[in-house]
A = this chain, B = another copy of it.
Amino acid sequence: MNSRLQELSNCGFKITPQRRLILDILQKSDRPLTAEETAERIKKKEPRISVATIYRNLNLLVEIGVLSKLEIADAAARFQINQGHNHHLLCLGCGAAIKIGICPLQGRVEELIQEHGFSVDSHYFEITGYCRECQLKETGK
Contact = CB atoms under 8 A, between A and B. Distances in A.
B109 A100 contact: yes
Interface in A31-89: 71, 73-74, 89
Interface in A103-130: 104-105, 108-109, 112-113, 116-130
Contact of A130 (B108, B121, B135): B121
Interface residues of A, number: 33
A127 to B, nearest CB: 5
Copies in the complex: 2
Contacts of A109: 100, 102, 127
B124 A73 contact: yes
Interface string A88-103: 0101100000101010
A54 to B, nearest CB: 18
Contact of A113 (B71, B122, B127): B127
B125 A125 contact: yes
Interface of A: 71, 73-74, 89, 91-92, 98, 100, 102, 104-105, 108-109, 112-113, 116-132, 135
